Amino acid sequence: MNYKLELIRDSVRNFAEQEIRPYTREIDEGRFYPDKLLKMMADQQLMGVTIPREYGGAGLGFQELSVVLEEIARVCASSTMHITSSNTLVGQVFLEFATEEQKKQYLVPLAKGEVTATFALSEPEAGSDALAMSTKAEEDGDNYILNGRKTFITNALESEFIVVFAVTNSTNIARGTTAFIVDRNTEGMIIGKPENKMGMNGSNTSDVLLRNVVINKNQVLGRIGSGFKMAMKSLDMGRIGVAAQAVGIGQSAVDEAVQFTKKRVQFGRSISSMQGVRFMLADMQTRLSVARAMVEKVARKIDEKEKIGAEASIAKYYATETCVKIAGDALQLHGGYGYTKDYAIERIFRDSRVTTIYEGTSQIQQILIARDLLD
């Protein structure tokens, strides 16, 4: 047993149970996220788990982050949407590619939880096919001028800055995409109204419209033309974050199913005493244990700087499909009650569903896994 990880697990579990649990229903039904909880998560250093101390983070790794995401998602999946970007997508691109000055200006407040930021890659016609992106950045003296539309951008409305990927050379998009840091309120950047989503209601998702947005060249992140590979690399990190979140959601489904089936009496006995129900619960628990072990393995490899190949995709694919399956089975075990908003499993089922879609669908993960095997 890794005592340090177990201590972190206990402490985050207590925090989530005591501070977040009382708001879970309100967050889901009200489609908002309390500032008070954001501040508390920042005070617990949850926004910067994987960011070194010198840049305002906790100086830990992906193993610790996985435990944090799992324990928070177990109580309120939406809450993890406020922790992932700073630790994975945005945090990792800044850590690896930003200049020292950019790190001081952007990464430090992000890791401390003083500001929110997001990652804008997807477009209306470029979702799974990221290379189909059409947002353009044209050079103009000391500046670039950005035009285009990004879609499904997490927390865009609250973000103090957005990492926008745009094409600087359309002859080869894989080698002609660049990442730009666009500050909130930059003229020409318009954030759309939040999507009316099925779940994860504690986090907004909006379009980002860029109309002749003038960005100085010192706001380029990394090298000109290196943006696509940067996005793909950070998505590998992001995917292990989603896998950990899925394990947490899956665990909450198991918790709810155990609690409900023990209490529910049919045919004169608790349904948890029936073999058919017990087999379902055993199957759920087994799949969940496998998913957790996969996440732990990939997180350890990332921390030890070992090559992960397609393993982040394998973990994301398996953990998220498992999460959706377990949430569905747990709802089934609740019978008609599971179909009402009176039981937490209804929200858990809705929240689970996006995990096989965002940060690369299950089908994209299958493509990457098969390529690693065959090509």
Instruction: Give catalytic residues, as residue numbers.
Output: 359
Which CB sits closer to ligand COS, 17 or 372?
A: 372
Which CB sits closer to ligand COS, 228 or 260?
A: 228
Smallest separation, CB 126 to ligand COS (Å): 8
Q: How far apart are CA 299 and CA 231, in angstroms?
A: 19
Q: Which two tokens stand for residue 152?
A: 């499904």
Q: Which residues bind ligand COS (CB under 6 A)?
A: 119, 121-122, 128-131, 174-175, 228-229, 232-233, 235-236, 358-360, 364, 368
- The DSSP bridge partners found for residue 352 are none
Smallest separation, CB 233 to ligand COS (Å): 4
- Minimal CA–CA distance to 220: which of 139, 314, 323, 121? 139
Angle between helices 62-75 and 275-303 (to 10 degrees): 150
Are the CB atoms for 162 and 132 separated by under 8 Å?
A: no
Which CB sits closer to ligand COS, 144 or 358?
A: 358
Backbone conformation region of residue 56, classed left if phi is above 0, alpha if psi is from -120 to 50, else beta: left
Smallest separation, CB 91 to ligand COS (Å): 13
Residue 126 has phi, psi (to 5 degrees) of -140, 80
- Minimal CA–CA distance to 179: which of 150, 212, 141, 211? 150
Smallest separation, CB 297 to ligand COS (Å): 18
Which CB sits closer to ligand COS, 57 or 360?
A: 360
Smallest separation, CB 219 to ligand COS (Å): 20
Q: How far apart are CA 368 and CA 315, in angstroms?
A: 12
Which CB sits closer to ligand COS, 67 or 242?
A: 242
3-class SS of residue 58: coil
- The DSSP bridge partners found for residue 308 are none
Q: What's the Cα-to-Cα distance from 200 to each of 31, 66, 73, 82, rounded to whole Å?
A: 9, 19, 11, 11
Are the CB atoms for 279 and 329 separated by under 8 Å?
A: no
Are the CB atoms for 295 and 66 separated by under 8 Å?
A: yes
Smallest separation, CB 211 to ligand COS (Å): 22
Which CB sits closer to ligand COS, 27 or 242?
A: 242
Q: What's at 373, amino acid-wise?
A: L
